[in-house]
Amino acid sequence: MNQPIRSLILAAGLGTRLRPLTLSKPKCLVEINKKPLLELWIEKLEDINSQKIIINTHYLSDQVNNFLNTK
């Protein structure tokens, strides 16, 4: 019997190595090809049928929450 896939995205870091891009936005919302990293990660997890995704946030978490609420 296969167990459901549950996923945890660690998105709480300050993204110091990506500065100055992360001075005003969290690393997970930095865009690659006009898509935030977080959206790319979620799409990949959906592709493997992850049934539950938990996102650990801290730095600029309001922006992450706002992004998720618009999806």
Q: Could you write out the DSSP letters of every residue in 25-52? A: S-GGG-EETTEEHHHHHHHHHHHTT-SE
The pLDDT tens digits for 53-67 are 999 999 999 999 999
The whole-angstrom separation of Cα 18 and Cα 5 is 30
The pLDDT value given to residue 3: 86
Partners of 8 in beta bridges: 54
The yes-or-no verdict on residue 52 having pLDDT over 90 is yes
Show contacts of 37-42: CB within 8 Å, 24+ apart.
38/9, 38/11, 38/64, 38/67, 38/68, 39/67, 39/71, 41/9, 42/9, 42/71
The pLDDT tens digits for 1-34 are 688 999 999 999 999 999 999 999 999 999 999 9
Rounded to two decimals, the pTM is: 0.88
